[in-house]
């Protein structure tokens, strides 16, 4: 299974998101692109953001004409976020679903040797960036996010649930995302639901270092006996974003093939 979502193997789905607009950050590949494909397959118009214009254009080209819009920029840049929300308001006049998927982990190694500037950058993108996307969606006067009973789904990580050597500070940032999810759900209810999905290792470029050359060995620790795919996470996000989950908020769904229960880590 490759990182890119495959449209020709996408199951026939209903139209739970017909007439709705969904924004997915970090969506030029991997989990974000998989989520965008799933929501579009269920009727949504999707807006994708990513840092690299060329990769984003290639991603948007995978969708049926008129169903996807790509806007390139850095997720932690306030001007980029304003551009995205203003474009959504102008072109579509509404926002229904916000999926905050952007996450970085530029360092690997023990916390005791962690470069503190790298730590600040991780927090700025993974935590402050997540909060900023939410704040600006809620406060934008022309999106009607609250009036549309908006749904927010953030991508956390099982690294935020148990110590994960080598990526510990990334895990710390994702633990913050999980707590942020719960806190926002309490503040924004009943109008807006907020949930998160916490994956273990998913087969994407982002996680390559965790399984490349040793996939069978890594997967052996998972009761499911395989690593995750972007489609696995997309299904969970689509559930949280749909009316099927209207009574579900403030939850963090562990999507890990059972590895944490079996005593493993990210």
- 6: which DSSP letter? -
Active site residue 170: yes
Q: Which of the residues 108, 170, 211, 239 is marked catalytic?
A: 170
Query: d(Cα 165, Cα 231) in Å, to the nearest integer?
Result: 27
Query: d(Cα 71, Cα 50) in Å, to the nearest integer?
Result: 7
- Which residues sit opposite 199 in a β-bridge? 255
Asked if 82 contacts 74 with a C-beta cutoff of 8 angstroms, the reply is no
- Tabulate helix, strand, coil % of the chain (nearest 5): 45, 15, 45
Neighbours of 225 (CB within 10 A): 11
The string over 109-120, giving b where at least 16 C-beta atoms fall within 10 Å of a residue's C-beta and e elsewhere, is: eeeeeeeeeebe
Catalytic residues: 170
């Amino acid at each position: 299974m490759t990182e890119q979502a495959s449209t020709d193997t996408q199951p026939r789905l209903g139209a739970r998101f017909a007439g709705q607009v969904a924004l997915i950050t970090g969506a030029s590949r991997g989990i974000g692109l998989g989520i965008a494909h799933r929501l579009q397959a269920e009727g949504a118009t999707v807006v994708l953001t990513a840092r690299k214009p060329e990769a984003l254009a290639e991603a948007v080209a995978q969708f049926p004409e008129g169903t996807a819009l790509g806007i390139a920029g850095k997720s932690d840049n306030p001007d980029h976020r304003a551009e995205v929300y203003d474009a959504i308001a102008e072109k579509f006049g509404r926002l229904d679903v916000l999926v905050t998927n952007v996450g970085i982990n530029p360092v690997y190694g023990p916390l005791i040797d962690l470069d503190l500037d790298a730590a600040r950058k991780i927090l700025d993108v993974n935590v402050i960036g997540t909060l900023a996307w939410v704040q600006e969606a809620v406060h934008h006067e022309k999106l009607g996010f609250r009036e549309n009973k908006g749904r927010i789904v953030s991508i956390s990580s099982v690294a935020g649930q148990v110590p994960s050597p080598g990526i510990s500070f990334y895990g710390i940032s994702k633990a913050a995302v999980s707590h942020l999810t719960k806190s926002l759900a309490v503040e924004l209810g009943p109008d807006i639901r907020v949930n998160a999905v916490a994956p273990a290792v998913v087969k994407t470029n982002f996680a390559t270092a965790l399984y490349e050359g040793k996939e069978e060995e890594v997967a052996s620790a998972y009761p499911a006996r395989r690593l995750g795919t972007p489609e696995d996470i997309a299904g969970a996000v689509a559930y949280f974003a749909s009316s099927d989950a209207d009574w579900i908020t403030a939850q963090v769904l562990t999507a890990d093939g059972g590895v944490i229960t079996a005593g493993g880590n990210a």
